[in-house]
Amino acid sequence: MVAIDPPPYNADADTQRLTLSAVTDATGKDLLITITPPAVPDGAIGADAKLKRAPVDFVLTIDISGSMGETVKIPGDTEQSGLSVLDIVKHAAKTIITSMQDTDRVAVVAFSTDAKTALGLTQTDSAGKAKALDAIEKLRPDDTTNIWEGLKTSLNQFKDLSNMAYLAQNPKRLSSIFLLTDGLPTIAPPRGHIPMLTSYMENHKLTGQVTINTFGFGYRLDSRLLHSMAAIGRGTFGFIADAGMVGTVFVHAVANAYATYASNVEIDIQLGEGKEDVGKVLEVIGGFEWARTAAGLKVFMNPLQYGQSRDLVLKTSNLPSSELLIITARFKPWDSPETISGTQHVTLANYPPQNPSDAINVTYHEYRSKFVFSVYDILDIAMRTEDPPGFGYQSQRIPVPKGARARFEGLVSEMEAALPADKTLAADAYALLEDIRGQILLAVSDETMFRRWGQHYLLSMARAHQRQTCINFKDVGLQVYGRGSTLFVACRDEIDALFDNLPPPKPAVVAPPPAMAYGGRSRFAPAAGAQQQPQSSRVSKLGFSMASFNSRANPCFAGSCSILLADGTSSLKVSDLYAGVRIKTPNGPRKVERVVKTSIEGGKVEMCEIVKGDSKLVITPWHPIRHDDGRWIFPVDVHDVRIVDCDAVYSILLQADGDSDAHGAYIGGTLCVTLGHGIKRSEHDRRAHPFLGSYSDVHKALMNATGSAERGVVHAAGVERSEKTGLINGFEWK
């Protein structure tokens, strides 16, 4: 391992030291190159790290097309929030602005048919923040979706003459664009988005200077285009499936931007003795952009965050072990006036793993890179010079690529064979393996899931693993990134709290009659058509805090469905179920303890219908069910939501059991979770809920139900919600 000399502007600071290291696998055919940046900014101690971060210039680029005015529901149930997509995005934008320091600047660009600068780059002192918040508040839904105009107008902020003059006096800062859209582009530039963006970045020398982050909300996206834009801008592509993911995706994106140590990171690789045929004996894996140079290869890496390494795997199968490789890392720390470089001379025979952990680390990064490459190869993502094929709505018609599932299953088999049996020795690799076994395979399991969300999710995950950045709280394989960065963690936690605690927005959409959340309306929901009052606290008059849009919960099923009884052959309509009936669960027969019947006002509710042979399950979109491959998912992940006639919905509490698998019922041919299953907190199990997962809390609530409870059936009018978190924490009784 070699340490790159600290730059002269800060020669005595140990934390400014950056290491460039190399190690091979046991065969000597895979070479891992690792760049390790400082753990914290120079002079930072503990929680003060965020005070020493780089000043930033953010451009918030927001889609205000007509569809952004569509209403969203409180995550975790079907109750209308009265908020639009744009309202939630505006709240996220206000969170970002509130988190910024006096030395930062922000601009706001809105786009629909064309684009407008709602606010030019403005310093975020108290007066500047007020202007920025006002600019965000005034955004209203408009017309069509012209993504290129929005992006071009955002880039123009950085080449504006006044900005150039400002940067001449304040050069040590980082620049980022955060672009969010909920739709497909309806207008394209004559030469195409990608050629225009590439040309613009090159002509104005912005490549590596301005990071472009793109975010797609919902399912009607050209995710390949958004991904390509982010790749050119060396930024993040984030897929936001629903309103519940807006908070976590933006929180992580901004925290990563704040934690950036260096941009314009490149690795040059050449053979010794002036040989130029390095491309014939080396293969760069992981989907990185690279180019041939006079001396060898140049690999374009992504920005470096404090405390998070960047790892590049080279396949060296055709390289003699005695051959000399000259590896040079070049990067520009945000507080340095110049680019810094450090060189490592490597002979493969001299860099075998020194201990088992080295070998495991090489194996992990090899499979991380293979996963990224597999996604890009399957989806035909390459270093493009033109727009991805299938502009507009055609991008939604892509079938599951042939052999996709087999490709990922093969990767799973390879990893299982290569990794040690003791998972603690390869925790990072097993985290990646869990994601591939789970959501990745689900994403390509059939046409419905792939077209609805799978194609978008795959690109988002591949980009995150390539950049080695955590982009949400949900995917276990991403949680390994940034955990060693004090700055990232501090910023993430601060922004997360801001998102949850800022006053909720005033609903721009009049809420329709509230539906149910695990049955029925919320106690805090106003009557239909009630006048909305100004918001003065973190909990809106609709009964939720913005924490509701930073998490997920779960609801219930229709009474017309059949539930499988203990003998495994006979069944009973859910509406006829009562306490004492023995039903079948994955752990054998269990008695029904209580049934919760919740009436639906108006007799109509949004549900998912799942048909299996002669059986049909009618269930609320966010009630966890077990997929055919054994994983717990939400019905909305795989089925469309539609309005159905339904007078009441039902939930079930079974007899107590410490095994969560004993709290499941086969309804309409599908295994559904029941109340009190024991999983109260988990970032990865979709059954998790602090109240609905607590057997003691649910049991106590049902035992205290008012009104009649004939044969153990209690009648609810809705649910109660925590005024602190907005999550369900009780039932409202008739």
Given this model, what pLDDT does residue 164 score?
84
Report whether pLDDT(523) > 50.
no
Q: Which residues, including other chains, have CB under 8 Å from residue 729's CB and lie 6 or more apart? A: 690, 691, 720, 721, 722
By DSSP bridging, strand 18-24 and strand 30-36 are: antiparallel
In this prediction, residue 25 has a pLDDT band, given cuts at 50, 70 and 90, of confident
pLDDT exceeds 70 at position 530: no
Q: What is the pLDDT of residue 3?
A: 35
The average pLDDT across 717-724 equals 72
Single-letter residue type at 117: T
DSSP assignment letter at 514: P
Residue 617's pLDDT is 95
Which residues lie below 8 Å from residue 593, measured CB to CB, with a gap of 6+? 579, 653, 654, 655, 656, 699, 702, 712
Question: Minimum mean pLDDT among 282-286, 293-297, 429-433, 607-611: which range?
Answer: 293-297
The span from the CA of 159 to the CA of 167, in Å, is 10
Q: Which residues contact 455 (CB under 8 A, 6 or more apart)?
A: 223, 224, 379, 398, 443
User: For the chain, what percent of residues have pLDDT higher than 90?
Assistant: 51
Cβ neighbours of 677 (radius 10 Å): 26
Q: 3-class secondary structure for 300-340?
A: ECCCEECCECEEEEEECCCCCCCCEEEEEEEEEECCCCCCE
**Whether residue 83 has pLDDT greater than 50:** yes
Domains 47-259+485-499 and 549-733 share a fold: no
Of the candidates 137, 134, 129, the one whose C-alpha atom is nearest the C-alpha of residue 90 is 137
With 90 as the cut, is the pLDDT of residue 179 above it? yes
Residues 6+ away with beta carbon under 8 Å from 71: 80, 81, 82, 83, 84, 509, 511, 512
Q: How confident is the model over 324-343, as a mean pLDDT?
A: 88
What would the mean pLDDT of 49-55 be, rounded to a whole number? Answer: 83
- Average pLDDT estimate for 689-714: 88
Q: What is the pLDDT of residue 731?
A: 87
How is 97-131 classified by DSSP, letter by letter?
HHH--TT-EEEEEEESSSEEEEEEEEE-SHHHHHH
Domain 47-259+485-499 has CATH 3.40.190.10: no
Q: Quote the CA–CA distance of 17 and 340 in Å, as a whole number.
A: 11
CATH 2.30.30 fits 2-36+263-352, yes or no: no
- Identify the CA nearest to 243 among candidates 74, 80, 471, 68: 74
pTM, two decimal places: 0.74
Contact 349, 356 (CB under 8 A): no
For residue 382, what pLDDT is reported? 55
> Helices (H), strands (E): how many in the chain?
16, 35
User: In Å, what is the CA distance from 216 to each residue of 185, 245, 392?
Assistant: 12, 11, 14
Three-state secondary structure readout of 445-503? CCHHHHHHHHHHHHHHHHHHHHHCCCCCCCCHHHCCCCCCCHHHHHHHHHHHHHHHHCC
Task: Give the pLDDT confidence score for residue 4 in this predicted structure.
Answer: 36
Beta carbons within 8 Å of 120's beta carbon, 6+ residues apart: 107, 157, 160, 162
In angstroms and rounded to an integer, the radius of gyration of the C-alpha atoms of the chain is 27
Question: Over 80: is that where the pLDDT of 313 sits?
Answer: yes
Per-residue pLDDT, 385: 55
Superfamily of domain 549-733: Hedgehog/Intein (Hint) domain (2.170.16.10)
pLDDT at position 541, please?
37
User: Residues 87-100: pLDDT tens digits?
Assistant: 999 999 999 999 99
| Domain definitions of the chain by residue range | 2-36+263-352, 47-259+485-499, 549-733
pLDDT of res. 208: 87
Q: Which of 243, 383, 269, 368 is nearest to 326 (CA)?
A: 269
Predicted pLDDT of residue 81: 60
pLDDT tier at 591, thresholds 50, 70, 90: very high
pLDDT in tens, 360-416: 999 999 999 999 999 999 998 754 555 665 545 445 567 888 899 999 999 999 999
Once rounded to an integer, what is the mean pLDDT over residues 415-427?
A: 94
Q: Which segment of 100-114, 230-244, 719-733 scores lowest on mean pLDDT?
A: 719-733
Taking residues 123-152, what's their average pLDDT?
Answer: 96
Examine the pLDDT at 535 and tell me if it is beyond 90: no
Decide: helix, strand or coil at residue 192.
Answer: coil
The per-residue pLDDT for 178 is: 98
Q: Mean of the pLDDT values across residues 141-148?
A: 92
The answer on pLDDT for 539 being more than 70 is: no
| C-beta of residue 7 within 8 angstroms of C-beta of residue 24 | no
Q: Greater confidence, 642 or 174?
A: 174
Give the least confident one: 261-270, 518-527, 671-680.
518-527
pLDDT of residue 663: 96
Of 638, 215, 134, residue with least CA distance to 464: 215
How does the average pLDDT of the chain come out, rounded?
84
pLDDT, position 723: 59
Question: Where residue 45 falls among pLDDT bands split at 50, 70, 90?
Answer: low
The number of beta carbons lying within 10 Å of the beta carbon of residue 417 is: 7
* Distance separating alpha carbons of residues 140 and 674, to the nearest angstrom: 41
The enclosing H or E element of 157 equals helix 147-159
Burial environment of residue 289 by CB neighbours within 10 A (0 to 12, 13 to 18, 19 or more): middle
Q: Can you tell me the distance from the alpha carbon of 546 to that of 724, in angstroms, rounded to the nearest whole number?
A: 10
Segments of 559-712 assigned E as strands = 562-564, 571-573, 582-585, 588-599, 604-612, 615-619, 625-626, 632-633, 642-645, 648-654, 664-667, 670-673
Over residues 644-672, mean pLDDT: 93
Asked whether 213 and 181 are in contact (CB, 8 A), the reply is no
Which H/E stretch holds residue 290? strand 289-292
Count of all residues that appear for the chain in the document: 734
> Is 50 exceeded by the pLDDT of residue 301?
yes
Q: Is 39 exposed, middle or buried (0-12, 13-18, 19+ CB in 10 A)?
A: middle
pLDDT at 8: 38
Between 343 and 175, residue with greater pLDDT = 175
The whole-angstrom separation of Cα 666 and Cα 302 is 47
